[in-house]
Structure 1
Amino acid sequence: MTVAPQTALFSIRDLRLSFPDRDAKPLFGPAPRVEVLKGLTLDFPEGKITGIVGESGSGKSSLGRVLVRLLTPDSGAVIFDGQEIGALDEPALRPLRRDLQMIFQDPMSSLNPRHKVWQIIAQPLKRYGTNATRDTAIAALKKVGLPEAFADRYPHQLSGGQRQRVGIARAIALRPRFILADEIVSGLDVSSQAQVLALLASLARDMGLTLAFISHDLSVVRHLCDHVVVLHHGEIVDHGAVAEVFDNPSSEITRSLLAAIPRPEIDEGWWDDGVELES
């Protein structure tokens, strides 16, 4: 399937990634490697949300971590805004880090439990030489629907949905151009999922963000994303506009994923600006 030509903020070309086989125990020499991404070529249109889906072990999280350069690919090109970043070392990557942000699956493990919420948000601002005041952090909090009173709370004093919104605030405070969201609602109840997704959709639209949204829940991807890529054993088996892929899947893998949706789809109005956020 094809996608109408659009400006790509991110592109990957013949991307390959492998890990040492932890089950192999050779007597001599290094362990053999297992290829987890097998020559992927893909564009991420600027200002759009691209869903990355697949079964467990399909390589979707590995792909996401290559995009934000938490993993270095074995070969192939990772092109961000015209610059090849796949082989850059950390000093060369540093100027780009503020543009490449990530929202983690488990906010409790990614938020420093000893820091107040405003300090958590301000920390990356300070790291990248941006105004890192309490007021700046509060402004980011308000963008994600949390009032000023939350600034002096600690992560353990927040609900799961509130912690995830703090993670979103930390990511958007730097005003990045690209955000990777990795299974960010998988640990939340249905109500909190709807609130977080409504927030993410609104922020992406208002800030012109380019997002890669990793999820196992195809009903969420159908409502949130503009495009979708389906991975299976490290290969792309479907790719295109969401409506095209979901209504006319070209692979048996996509059809089986669609048939296995575990719960009714989120109500059609979940993205409305009027969705009330918990406080």
Structure 2
Amino acid sequence: MNKTISSLLMGAALIAPVTTFAETPEEKGYAIAVEADNRNLGWKDSTADMTMVLRNKRGDESVRTLRVKSLEVQDDGDKSLTIFDEPKDVRGTALLTFTHKVEPDDQWLYLPALKRVKRIASRNKSGPFMGSEFAFEDMSSQEIEKYDYKYLKDEPCGELTCFVVERFPKDENSGYTRQIAWIDQAEYRVQKVDYYDRKESLLKTLTVSKYNQYLAKYWRPSESLMVNHQTKKSTTLTWENYQFQTGLSDSDFTKNSLKRAR
């Protein structure tokens, strides 16, 4: 996942330990988010291959292959370009995302069958991305300024111990009223997120796994599973062939780049 489905999603010397100065649950929750973000600074750009597996409530599967390009942006959110390669009916479809720290994100979808670029309106960001259980807003990088935070507790998560942090989207067009994230205390990586819909009901759970470290610093998952508890559908994203600092620039992330994405 780019710092998107993936940043949903990280050093230690950059701030004091969160348990030292964080006094309130809100302060501690924010400090954990800052530490996670600080651990993920400086990667510049990346590319990766992705496989998307869609499952309906009967367990029937459809498979899509994609490529993802990401660009770290100073003083703002990251940029990403997601390109579909297979199957043939979606080949050439591309999503361009400009994440912003405070302002609403900008997103454009290129549909080759129509040969046009469609802007995704802010009010539609909660809609499903290409029929998956990931919403358009899930495809943006998870900038810390987008949320208010509250530390809830420490809790075992598999073989690790996690901070459990509640975060509240500031964007009034978000499809979520709140999210509960499990962030491991060893490396500040997101392990799981529960998403609650506008009716405060549990909507989805994201499980992030099989992390690998790159450039001796940056952790990226090899697999993310999003389960929709209300529809019983799920989507698995798997990544491979991560490459960093490949020389991408702003010119690779324009609306014109959507049309020529191959």
Could you say whether these structures have the same fold, taking a TM-score greater than 0.5 normalized by the shorter chain as the test?
no
Calculate the TM-score normalised by the size of structure 1. 0.30
Name the structure where helix makes up a greater proportion of residues.
1
Name whichever structure is richer in strand by fraction: 2
